[in-house]
Amino acid sequence: MSIYFDASQNFFHLSNNEISYIIGIEKKQYLTHRYFGPRLAEYHQVNQLQMIDRGFATNPISEERTFSLNTLPLETSTQGSLDYRVSNYQFRNIDGHCITNFAYDHFEISEGKRPLEGLPSLRGDQGQTLAIYLVDSIQSLEMVLYYTIYEDLPVITRSVSYTNNGTQIVYIENAGSMLLDFPRCDFDLLTFNGAHTNEATIHRQALHPGIQKIASTRGTSSPQHHPFLGLADRYTNEDQGDVYGFHFIYSGNFVAQAEVEQYGSTRIQIGINPETFEWKLSPGTTFQTPEVVLNFSRKGFNQLSQTFHTLYQTYLIPKQWQQEERPILLNSWEGNYFDFTEEDLIRQAQLASTLGIELFVLDDGWFGQRTDDTTSLGDWYVNNAKLPNGIEHLADVIHQQKMKFGLWFEPEMISVKSRLFERHPEWSLQVPNYPQTQGRQQLVLNLSLPEVQDHLIQMLIAYLSSNKIDYIKWDMNRHLTEVGSFLLPNDQQKEVSHRYVLGLYRILSEVTERFPQVLFENCSSGGGRFDPGMIAYMPQTWASDNTDALCRSKIQYGYSYLYPPIMMGAHVSDSPNHQVGRNTPLESRFLIAMSGNFGYEIAIEKQSPQELEMIKEQIIFYKKHRKLLQFGQFYRLKELDASYSTAWLFKNETEALLVYSNGLAQPAQTVQYLKTKYLEESALYKDMNTEEIYSGSELNHAGILIPRIKGDFNCFYIHWTVIR
Ligand code: GLA
């Protein structure tokens, strides 16, 4: 890995064993994007910049009409002159003018990577960082572009800091995190879109002229659009072809866009969504943007996923969870909803313990007057009618059953019907004179207020200090409205959305760092805020409120492009399923849930003796293969088709496990051989069910005949151990 500056030809070359990224300096002032892709052993500027005197092109040097920033591939945009494509930043000065003129100033190269203050970011112990300084000398503004390249992965991170070294206030109307121009547009754009209970649906479409953009203005990254863009060659599939992935480490409003411009190049830009953002940059202050991960694969989507999986397990989630096995849980929600007593929970926990379950999670309904979802958020004291002996007592009883104890919170919310709202109505997000909009009959606390942050930190510390809570499910079940704050002057109201996210990050970092042994699960009505920012604090996320096995196989398939199975909470729930009413076999529900971070969310006492016996066996099976399922490599073997059939493979040095789901049964079944593709070619694998022995190469290339499966939503698995 190295970052090299060629002083004679004025370019930077960032490279490791797999990738190169090259930035040029033109006219000693302007940063051009020269290359990003497979590693180049050396670079001698073979791909010269196109210099043509174009119509409507503007020229920084008037007599040099072939040189225009309107057409060159750039590393950042210009503002108010020269470049008309989507921009990465926008300032407004005190006179109301929106113009800057940044020019290259100097650079620094350093080992490692500094953490981004107040923001989650990848740890950079294995990286090297290039900081390129640009200066607007008229207003004394400084912009620093940060690039970190990793030693062991085809990954670069980018972020920007904006500093006001002048004497006047300036306002940042747009604080983008990265921009780069590819000199071509024959890409397919990949996005993950969805809705509540239908998260992470993959969309792939050819880029076309104009701007293709996804964004959130909801206050969170949202289930509607995941903060990710992929650019794939047309022929790229799971196993071959080039693909770039851009993933934003941020949990609030974002924009991610691709612009195909007039001469066939593609601009990628990602950052905080400027629609709901502005920042007052006082003299002597700096604004740091969140970070974007740039990932490149030459071997299709599976390889891209391998890199994301390793990257986030190694450099993003809290260190203490990297190698830590996760417990099998029973979550109380779908089995009880709000309707339970202490005796019910204790009986359920006792039964769960005899089945081998390791963590009992008490979900919503344990606090305040909470008998339905209309009340009590914010009143984080125990509901005595349901739990007369308190949370600590319940935790003790669960611990006596040799299980861990987990508890649900939705800390960012406040019900109008709550003691907290009576005491602190001003803590909820609001704008003077306008009614407050409710969602799920609740309001959102203004997390940008330090006193609200302190209150939540203290509340959580008080619960966790008892040492009785081993796990917290952190929920967030509505989006932001009336985003205003009484604490800020009128020219800073548009800071609130971002300050909310910073407040959230402050709470999360203080609480998770103080209680490193507590496992936090991220949730926002399922995957509503499943993003790399949240993962930096909470190593797993409840992937969707949809627990139907068939829907889940699609949702988990989508998330697996970016996150490993250990990060996606997945539970066996009752059949018929509560969200879609579908009946699925218990075996299928198990195999799909087992392919994520595994647990149960069922009315456990209503299961038949046969079902309980099956569950017991499932748990024994899971424990036996937990290392493989939680820490093995995960590959998709089949692209999702109209029948929703899926197949995937878990693999480590000693074993492998394939899960196949037929989705909707088809008539006139075609001949299908499923190729495992990623097993060790020269190894011998023993099928632990049939005792047949096969070579990795025959499994990879000749494949397994898919048997005739009648009935919908049936899954099977094959488990092999490596015998040589
Ligand atoms: C959200 C979560 C569910 C459950 C409920 C409780 O919808 O995603 O898992 O915790 O809230 O109200």
The CATH number for 457's domain is 3.20.20.70
Query: Are residues 210 and 266 located together in one domain of the fold?
Result: yes
- Cβ–ligand 1 distance for 546 under 6 Å, the answer no
User: 364 C-alpha vs ligand 1 centroid, how far in Å?
Assistant: 7
- Cβ–ligand 1 distance for 278 under 6 Å, the answer no
Tell me if residue 208 falls in helix, strand or coil. Answer: coil
Residue nearest to atom 7 of ligand 1 (CA): 525
The CATH number for 701's domain is 2.60.40.1180
User: 529 C-alpha vs ligand 1 centroid, how far in Å?
Assistant: 13
Question: 529 with 222: CB under 8 angstroms?
Answer: yes
- The confidence band for 1, taking pLDDT boundaries of 50, 70 and 90, is confident
- Cβ–ligand 1 distance for 409 under 6 Å, the answer no
- Cβ–ligand 1 distance for 521 under 6 Å, the answer no
Mean pLDDT of 171-200: 98
- Cβ–ligand 1 distance for 366 under 6 Å, the answer no
Query: Are residues 339 and 267 located together in one domain of the fold?
Result: no
Assigned domain for 559 exists: no
Query: Which two three-digit tokens encode residue 101?
Result: 């003129």
Query: Are residues 351 and 292 located together in one domain of the fold?
Result: no
As a whole number of angstroms, the distance between CA 36 and CA 567 comes to 29
- Cβ–ligand 1 distance for 333 under 6 Å, the answer yes
Residue-wise pLDDT for 558-589, tens only, equals 999 999 999 999 999 999 999 999 999 999 99
Specify the range with the lowest mean pLDDT, choosing from 9-13, 54-58, 345-349, 415-419. Answer: 54-58
Assigned domain for 153 exists: yes
As a whole number of angstroms, the distance between CA 133 and CA 104 comes to 6
* pLDDT > 90? residue 82: no
Residue nearest to atom 1 of ligand 1 (CA): 525
Q: Which one of the listed residues 136, 188, 545, 548 is annotated catalytic? A: 545
End residue of a domain, out of 495, 519, 542: 542
User: 525 C-alpha vs ligand 1 centroid, how far in Å?
Assistant: 5
Assigned domain for 403 exists: yes
Q: What pLDDT score was predicted for residue 642?
A: 86
Assigned domain for 532 exists: yes
Mean pLDDT of 482-494: 97
Query: Are residues 231 and 330 located together in one domain of the fold?
Result: no
Query: Are residues 329 and 221 located together in one domain of the fold?
Result: no
Q: What pLDDT score was predicted for residue 131?
A: 98
End residue of a domain, out of 493, 526, 542: 542
Residue-wise pLDDT for 281-312, tens only, equals 999 999 999 999 999 999 999 999 999 999 99
Mean pLDDT of 114-138: 95
Query: Are residues 284 and 338 located together in one domain of the fold?
Result: no
As a whole number of angstroms, the distance between CA 634 and CA 305 comes to 9
User: 160 C-alpha vs ligand 1 centroid, how far in Å?
Assistant: 36
Residue nearest to atom 8 of ligand 1 (CA): 525
Q: What pLDDT score was predicted for residue 7?
A: 96
- H/E stretch holding 194 reads strand 187-195
- Cβ–ligand 1 distance for 601 under 6 Å, the answer no
Any alpha helices (H) in 316-389, and if so which ranges? 333-336, 342-355
User: 251 C-alpha vs ligand 1 centroid, how far in Å?
Assistant: 19
What is the residue-averaged pLDDT of the chain?
Answer: 97
* pLDDT > 90? residue 125: no
Torsion of CA 637, 642, 643, 644, to 10 degrees: 50
Assigned domain for 549 exists: no
Determine if residue 668 is left, alpha or beta; phi over 0 gives left, psi from -120 to 50 gives alpha, anything else beta: left
Residue-wise pLDDT for 608-626, tens only, equals 999 999 999 999 999 999 9
Tell me if residue 506 falls in helix, strand or coil. Answer: helix
Q: From the centroid of its chain, how far is CA 720?
A: 32
Residue nearest to atom 2 of ligand 1 (CA): 525
- pLDDT over 70, % of the chain: 100
Q: What pLDDT score was predicted for residue 585?
A: 97
Question: 12 with 20: CB under 8 angstroms?
Answer: no
* pLDDT > 90? residue 83: yes
Query: Are residues 371 and 248 located together in one domain of the fold?
Result: no
Range of the domain at 334: 319-542
Q: What is the amino acid identity at position 604?
A: I
Q: Which one of the listed residues 83, 188, 470, 475 is annotated catalytic? A: 475
Query: Are residues 23 and 72 located together in one domain of the fold?
Result: yes
End residue of a domain, out of 315, 342, 360: 315
- Cβ–ligand 1 distance for 408 under 6 Å, the answer yes
User: 138 C-alpha vs ligand 1 centroid, how far in Å?
Assistant: 53
Q: What is the amino acid identity at position 640?
A: L
Residue nearest to atom 3 of ligand 1 (CA): 525
Q: From the centroid of its chain, how far is CA 313?
A: 12
Question: 505 with 252: CB under 8 angstroms?
Answer: no
User: 338 C-alpha vs ligand 1 centroid, how far in Å?
Assistant: 11
* pLDDT > 90? residue 329: yes
**Ligand 1: nearest atom to the Cα of 524:** 8
Q: Annotate 126-154 with DSSP letters as a single string.
A: TEEEEEEEEEETTTTEEEEEEEEEESSSS
- Cβ–ligand 1 distance for 24 under 6 Å, the answer no
- The confidence band for 425, taking pLDDT boundaries of 50, 70 and 90, is very high
Q: What pLDDT score was predicted for residue 640?
A: 87
Assigned domain for 582 exists: no
Mean pLDDT of 100-115: 96
Q: What is the amino acid identity at position 2?
A: S
Query: Are residues 22 and 73 located together in one domain of the fold?
Result: yes
- Cβ–ligand 1 distance for 523 under 6 Å, the answer yes
- The confidence band for 279, taking pLDDT boundaries of 50, 70 and 90, is very high
Assigned domain for 576 exists: no
- Cβ–ligand 1 distance for 261 under 6 Å, the answer no
* Best residue for ligand 1 mutational test, from 197, 331, 525 (most atoms within 8 Å of Cβ): 525
* pLDDT > 90? residue 669: no
Counting the structural domains of the chain, the total is 3
Q: What pLDDT score was predicted for residue 467?
A: 85
Mean pLDDT of 5-22: 97
* pLDDT > 90? residue 27: yes
* pLDDT > 90? residue 641: no
Query: Are residues 85 and 165 located together in one domain of the fold?
Result: yes
- The confidence band for 255, taking pLDDT boundaries of 50, 70 and 90, is very high
User: 475 C-alpha vs ligand 1 centroid, how far in Å?
Assistant: 7
475 a catalytic residue: yes
User: 127 C-alpha vs ligand 1 centroid, how far in Å?
Assistant: 39
Query: Are residues 215 and 346 located together in one domain of the fold?
Result: no
* pLDDT > 90? residue 695: yes
**Ligand 1: nearest atom to the Cα of 601:** 9
The pTM of the full predicted model, rounded to 2 decimals, is: 0.98
Residue nearest to atom 11 of ligand 1 (CA): 525
**Ligand 1: nearest atom to the Cα of 408:** 10
Query: Are residues 340 and 309 located together in one domain of the fold?
Result: no
As a whole number of angstroms, the distance between CA 238 and CA 561 comes to 10
Assigned domain for 472 exists: yes
- pLDDT over 90, % of the chain: 97
